[in-house]
Structure 1
Amino acid sequence: MDFFAQQDLARRNTRVLVILFTLAVIGLVLLTNVLVAGFLFFSEDYNVYAGSRGGWMGFLQQLSWDRFGTISLVVIGSVFLVSLVKWLQLAAGGKAIAESLGAEKVLPQTRDADERRALNIVQEIALAASMPVPDLYLLRDERGINAFAAGVTQADAVIAVTTGALHHLKRHELQGVIGHEFSHILNGDMRLNVRLAALLKGITFIGDVGYILLRAGTHRGRVRTGVRGGGNSNNSGAALPVLGLGLLVIGWIGGTCAGFIKAAISRQKEFLADAGAVQFTRDPDGIADALKVIGGYVPGTFVHRARAAELSHMFFGAVTHRLWQGFATHPPLDARIRRIQPRWDGEYISRRVRHYPNTRIESADVEFRPGREALVAAVAAVEATRGIRTRPLAPLTEHPPAGPGAGPETEEPPAPAIPPGLLAHVDDPLGASSLVLGLLISDDPAHRDRQLALIAEREVPGQATLVNTVAPGLAALPAGLRLPLVNRCLPALRAMSAPQYRTFKETLLAVIRADQHTELLEWCLYQLVRHYLDPEFVQVTPSRPRYARLGKVTAPLTEVLSVLAHEGSGEAEAAFTRARDELALPKLRLRPREALSVRAFSEAVHTLADCYPLLKPRILKAMGEAASENGEICPVEYEILASIAAVIDCPLPEDLKAPPL
């Protein structure tokens, strides 16, 4: 699957969404004006016994241009204000969306076998997709087999699964479901889904207002029972619930439009995500068998969380039953299966249903507050202060040997490449931060002592000692394993509190600047950490497509390609020429080494992040040519390219994947 083309399609679908949203708002404005005119006509000019004095002309007189303009401004302003508020809520990141649905983060320290299996799968597919490991969330006590990916960018993406999926799917089936969600992340569907949810909330808001007016009018009618008043006043009081009912009907019409918009945009993307799951797992039976299990499973994919219907287009399967397929946000199961297995015999797979407590989580019960990971970080800090080191859990790549009766559910992990002594520290914030700092420790004794002294000055209990302990093992780590190790540390680093992260980031910068010189690999490590952790703790503005042609970014391209050509393994002039030819920009000229700086390189990379999605793979391929010798990249060059790809929010093209160690 061409993920870059799908990202561009998602961007263009956003334009379609805006057009449909605008048409829906225009329809709501017209209907609301007609309704208000009718309300005023019946409350002021109409008598139930005598009828109307002005007839239709009296009704048309209520449709004045001044009133039309005022009502239109109120409706449009309300819709856009509600959409903006909803967007700000959802744009807080995947963590906020998952927690708003009542999902709980699965911690790396979990001892539950099913949860550890799911964490394993997320890590494996993240490695296959060349992206950092997203956090895993669990919708507990949900019997339906479902999942979703949420977030705005890859940096703040999370994946959530239901307990039903965790308990009723075999390993290869769960791989297919999680691979499907990774496809949504890489296709750029998450940002589109967030925009869709925000805009559609604005459309349905008028119905919420109508419900309030209907209730208020009914209550007012009960209070005024038996009280005499003028006829117009009585007409007005009687018309208030009618106005509310009318707005409620308009809201229902808006909800119908919202359903059509969701269905029109979401359905085709599910087919593409299924194909992406096959690409990640290299096993079409995984996603196909998962769909077959859902077809033969009584609870299906239903989710009973209070806000699930509002975000139904984000899920792997339909969260509620639809009487008519025209409103369905997902294609029929049999159609999805036949896309993957055209010769499917039509038989579903039956699984025994496991029952869970019938708990319904209401949206009012969910607050945005520190989760379990914050508690773990606090406990780790207390233990470090006391000098206590808890026995580390077995790394997620280690599993007990299969017993004599082991079936297809037996874990078969890949051979561990990162030494177990280092993996033992990736699951707690102190250990993970120490590993990242240890990657920066110099071989020069004097420089090393300065770096360790800077770490000790931050007064994080036990960190300087732990960095000194793991530094020799990290120095011996092959270049191709440093990036996977950093990616493995990210979930634990996200569990830090905001003050802990601020201290860690300051320490990281101090260690990098200890020799008054920043190397390219140090920049790469810092950018990876900043790019994937900043959204967890601070408000970050994601890059936006601004440059549709390479001709508009020739200056940053020259800067980046020149640095890579000088730092790469090949001859600089020849490498730069290959990169220039790849972009078909003959006017680019190699800059001399002394005119280059890491600061200018960083600014240039961030400018390239604003290019359109279809330009980014071409830019990355040109960078690969500039950094390599005859197009063959080594592990060090791959780490540099992977870091740049992360900063510009673009997966590495297939021909730039990790080289063999």
Structure 2
Amino acid sequence: MDFFGAQERARRGTRWLMLWFALAVVGIVAVVYLALALVTGMSAEAQGEPATLWRPVLLGWTLAGVGGLILAGSLYKLARLARNGGATIALDLGGRPVSRSTTDVRERRLVNVVDEMAIAAGIPAPPVYVLDAEAGINAFAAGARPAEAVIAVTRGTLEQLDRDQLQGVVAHEFSHILNGDMRLNLRLVAVLHGILLLTLAGRTLLRSARGSGRNGAPLAIAGMMLVVCGYLGVFAGKLIKAGVSRQREFLADASAVQFTRNPQGIAGALARIADIGSNIHHPGAEEASHMFFGSGAKLSSLLATHPPVEERIRRIDPAWKVRERIRGKARSPSDAAAPAGVSGFAAGVGQVSPEHLDHGRALIAALPDGLVEVLHRPRGARAALFALLLSREADILTRQFDVIEVRFGAEMRAECAELAATLRSLPAGRRLPLLDLALPALSEFPEGARDEIVAVVDALVAADGRTSAFEYVARRLLRAVLDPAPAGAPHIRVPAARLRADVARLLSLLAHAGHAREDEARAAFTAAAAIAPFDGLEFESDRKGFSSADLDATLARLASATPRFRARLVDACAGVVSHDGHLHATELELLRACCQALDAPMPLLEA
């Protein structure tokens, strides 16, 4: 899977989505206007006035009323989903957040599978939701960015699938997280919400007309027109969703096989759907039907948001016999080829291999006894986060402990001290995976408590007057999960000269971070500059004068560039840190910060 190519296709998909939405709105307005023009024309003719279909004033009112209602509904939904949209969708569909410290055996298995996949993918483990009222087998991933993603599964998925099948479903959803589908899916929900409002408004007018006696005829006519046009809009919306989502499902299925190298996992889950079903009965499921793992409702092939289950299984494993496989007969795995990607380090962005998964499982298994359980509890995750940021210098450590004790008391101070002793015995390369495991538990705190955690982290980092690479990436990841920027925040337009200077400065910073001698840093920079998005970059020999605020601003500008530009930049950044053949924890942490800022999940690497 070409991650940056998928992002570019998602951008194009958004533009096509907006075009189809505009055409649908124009069509709906035209139908309403023609109906109103005919009605008013017949009324004028009855009074002896000339009848005409061209009524500019009526067209203006129709455009303002119908078009305005659709646009207002879409903008409202977009604003509602702009921050933590994934969690909003999950809650709206009746989802229940699963505590990371759950003792339910099935939920524990789900959390473990998600943890393993997240560490392998190089992103914070997404929060997990369960749709308890849904007995069908289904799941979805939602969120504007990988750091804001959530994964939701139905109760039927937990109860009906074994671990391999569950892992296949989770891998499918991680593919949606990693290839840019989620943001497009959220925008599709917002766009279609405005069209659905027409039907709701029409039904409201019809109810009002029933209680208005003879004077209710105009309301009834208007309500009926809105209902009819609303259903036409719903039909158009289903066509749009079907066109957008079908091919993305094939890609996600292939990626799931590529991630796990186990076609029986996802094919088995699809076979269970063929036997049990995947329907979602929540009344809000229609808006989000394109996001699900399986079709959320029975629809004609023209309107279906998902390809037929049998076709999906055949593409994964051509020899699969659905009914025989359900009975446990005939096994014949096949390899699913992933699309050709870009070259270099960027080719691994968004990729999860079986080796990555094995390494993730081994990493979790090798952690000290009880540490994973601590990271899965909100209080324990908070203590672990603070412990990871504690200094080894006595005077600075004392100031940091004072900050913790003032905010959370002596008990939290003691807990952090005990955890710090455990965490310091681990290799430095374990810090980022530990942080990825802790972040989703922190999101279980209420908003005020999350703000307090961010404030304490800022104080701990500021205690020594400097910011290390790990402190920098920890703050970025923490804010991305606990205080995400609105999904609809506009991309800034940056002049090419400014981007060139930013690329040179970022590569210079990475070169200095991994090399003590200037000649070595310059050599690493020169090698990376050869594959950077710009030619003729100049090395900055000054190691100082580059604060974390400067780096934030630099990365924000670079993040506004096109996916292909960012792909080359990620390759160049990786080229700097790997130039000498040794990857230090500091280099990996800075590379992770760059990848996170550029919205590119970093492949699992070891220092």
TM-superposed deviation, 1:349: 4.5
Question: CA contact under 8 A between 1:550 and 1:615: conserved in structure 2?
Answer: no
* In the alignment, structure 1 residue 286 sits paired with structure 2 residue 278: no
1:206-605 equivalent positions in 2, closer than 5 A: 206-220=198-212, 223-224=213-214, 237-297=216-276, 300-322=277-299, 324-347=300-323, 349-350=325-326, 416-460=365-409, 462-535=411-484, 540=486, 545=491, 553-569=499-515, 571-583=520-532, 585-591=534-540, 592-605=542-555
Equivalence for 1:21: 21
Question: CA contact under 8 A between 2:390 and 2:400: conserved in structure 1?
Answer: yes
TM-score (norm 2): 0.89
Could you tell me how far apart the structure 2 residues matched to 1:344 and 1:42 are?
Answer: 63
Question: CA contact under 8 A between 1:534 and 1:540: conserved in structure 2?
Answer: no
5+ residue gaps, structure 2, are 329-360
SS of equivalent to 1:506 = helix
Question: CA contact under 8 A between 2:527 and 2:579: conserved in structure 1?
Answer: no
SS of equivalent to 1:610 = coil
TM-superposed deviation, 1:629: 3.2
Could you tell me how far apart the structure 2 residues matched to 1:77 and 1:532 are?
Answer: 34
TM-score (norm 1): 0.82
Cα–Cα, structure 1 residues 442 and 204, in superposed 2: closer, same or farther, change >3 Å?
closer
Question: CA contact under 8 A between 2:101 and 2:373: conserved in structure 1?
Answer: no
RMSD: 2.3
User: What amino acid is aligned across from residue 72 of structure 1 in structure 2?
Assistant: L
Higher Cα Rg, which structure = 1
Question: CA contact under 8 A between 2:133 and 2:155: conserved in structure 1?
Answer: yes
SS of equivalent to 1:111 = coil
The structure showing larger relative contact order (alpha-carbon pairs under 8 Å, at least 6 residues apart) is 2
Kindly tell me the number of residue pairs found equivalent between the two proteins: 570
Map Cα deviations across residues 137-194 of structure 1 (whole Å, 9 max, x no partner). Answer: 0000311000011111122211000010101111110111111111111111111111
User: What amino acid is aligned across from residue 622 of structure 1 in structure 2?
Assistant: A
Could you tell me how far apart the structure 2 residues matched to 1:506 and 1:92 are?
Answer: 20
Question: CA contact under 8 A between 1:179 and 1:280: conserved in structure 2?
Answer: yes
Greater displacement, 597-606 / 73-82: 597-606
Cα–Cα, structure 1 residues 72 and 170, in superposed 2: closer, same or farther, change >3 Å?
same
User: What amino acid is aligned across from residue 445 of structure 2 in structure 1?
Assistant: M
Equivalence for 1:394: none
Map Cα deviations across residues 280-323 of structure 1 (whole Å, 9 max, x no partner). Answer: 222122111111111122xx00011110112111111111111x
5+ residue gaps, structure 1, are 47-51, 225-235, 353-411
Map Cα deviations across residues 233-263 of structure 1 (whole Å, 9 max, x no partner). Answer: xxx7545423322222111111111111111
Greater displacement, 236-245 / 279-288: 236-245
Equivalence for 2:11: 11
Could you tell me how far apart the structure 1 residues matched to 2:498 and 2:87 are?
Answer: 36
1:184-199 equivalent positions in 2, closer than 5 A: 184-199=176-191
| Percent of paired sites with the same residue | 39
SS of equivalent to 1:418 = coil
Cα–Cα, structure 1 residues 415 and 455, in superposed 2: closer, same or farther, change >3 Å?
closer
- Structure 2 counterpart of 1:81, from 51, 56, 72: 72
User: What amino acid is aligned across from residue 564 of structure 1 in structure 2?
Assistant: L
Could you tell me how far apart the structure 2 residues matched to 1:295 and 1:19 are?
Answer: 35
TM-superposed deviation, 1:266: 0.9
User: What amino acid is aligned across from residue 13 of structure 2 in structure 1?
Assistant: N
Could you tell me how far apart the structure 2 residues matched to 1:603 and 1:633 are?
Answer: 26
* In the alignment, structure 1 residue 112 sits paired with structure 2 residue 89: no
Could you tell me how far apart the structure 2 residues matched to 1:351 and 1:200 are?
Answer: 41
Question: CA contact under 8 A between 2:82 and 2:487: conserved in structure 1?
Answer: no
Map Cα deviations across residues 56-106 of structure 1 (whole Å, 9 max, x no partner). Answer: x52x1x632122122212222111111111112223321111111110011
Could you tell me how far apart the structure 2 residues matched to 1:445 and 1:239 are?
Answer: 80
* In the alignment, structure 1 residue 616 sits paired with structure 2 residue 563: no
Could you tell me how far apart the structure 2 residues matched to 1:40 and 1:101 are?
Answer: 42
Could you tell me how far apart the structure 2 residues matched to 1:447 and 1:240 are?
Answer: 72
User: What amino acid is aligned across from residue 560 of structure 2 in structure 1?
Assistant: D
Equivalence for 1:178: 170
Equivalence for 1:372: none
TM-superposed deviation, 1:43: 4.5
Cα–Cα, structure 1 residues 186 and 348, in superposed 2: closer, same or farther, change >3 Å?
farther
User: What amino acid is aligned across from residue 343 of structure 1 in structure 2?
Assistant: A
TM-superposed deviation, 1:348: 5.6
SS of equivalent to 1:161 = strand
Question: CA contact under 8 A between 2:289 and 2:305: conserved in structure 1?
Answer: yes
Cα–Cα, structure 1 residues 132 and 459, in superposed 2: closer, same or farther, change >3 Å?
closer
Question: CA contact under 8 A between 1:296 and 1:349: conserved in structure 2?
Answer: no
* In the alignment, structure 1 residue 30 sits paired with structure 2 residue 9: no
